[in-house]
Amino acid sequence: MNHPAPNSRLIGVFDSGVGGLSVLRALRQRQPALPLLYIADSGHAPYGDRNPAHVVERSLKVTQHLIDQGASLIVIACNTATAWAIDTLRERHPTLDLVGVEPGVKPAVALSRNRRVGVMATPSTLASERFASLLARYANDCKILGVGCRGLAAAIEQGEIACEQVDQLLDLYCAELRRAEVDTAVLGCTHYPFVAERIAQRLGPEVQLLDTADAVARQALNLWVARHPERSADSGNKGQVRLQSTGDTMVLARLAREQLGLFEPVENITL
């Protein structure tokens, strides 16, 4: 398989695991011809259950690797890494285009009819100053319930092996949202869209689910075209996607195949 040379221009996407594939999927839906490199830092996951220093350290290492591979724009496809590391990354790489993901509090407040919004996210994301800032800026008259879904991202990573565990965790966390009578629920972790149907079944048709993957993809593409107008069609790298993992390559390969129809071999890397 022909890979882009290290000095070529590509978009890097990373997450602590496979969750960021939901953002990769949105990018490919908007522009199938993009040259992409996705890294699942599964060997050091989950970020959401780890301390902020660990998240910052890993984000710095993965970002440097993506730069070395030719990334001129990087999407931090992880709410926890965005919350704790994006400011440090911007300080370290001031000329690099960086796009993060955050829980969609602002659009959720706009959608809510009964002024009750639930945010499903990792405990680390909910504890961050960045999330507190989102609430201060956009919550307005809404009651926001943050549900720290400890263990859910890790269980989703395991696929069918942990199907029963995923269901048990969804029962637990969705029950909190039902008791709070929210009418809008934010999927505040990029893993959660992969179980969105199961979440919707538990919350019922009266509750709207909000996923920000498409908005993130749109922002990334706007930056990409502005910086590389000559590459907007990517005629030289049609649809080329590389997949790398610092952990179990089988997990990433399976999700990429099932969710994106990608049959690319996954490279195991050490960072």
Annotated binding site for substrate: 15-16, 47-48, 79-80, 190-191
Catalytic residues: 78, 189
From the number of C-beta atoms within 10 Å of its C-beta (0-12, 13-18, 19+), residue 196 rates as: middle
Contact yes or no for 53/224 (Cβ under 8 A): no
Q: What's the CA gap between 209 and 146, in Å, rounded? A: 14
E strands along 6-115, which residues? 10-15, 36-40, 71-76, 97-100
The residues that bridge with 242 in the sheet, in sequence order, are: 37
Q: What's the CA gap between 20 and 207, in Å, rounded? A: 24
Q: Which residues are annotated as a binding site?
A: 15-16, 47-48, 79-80, 190-191
Q: What's the CA gap between 24 and 196, in Å, rounded? A: 17
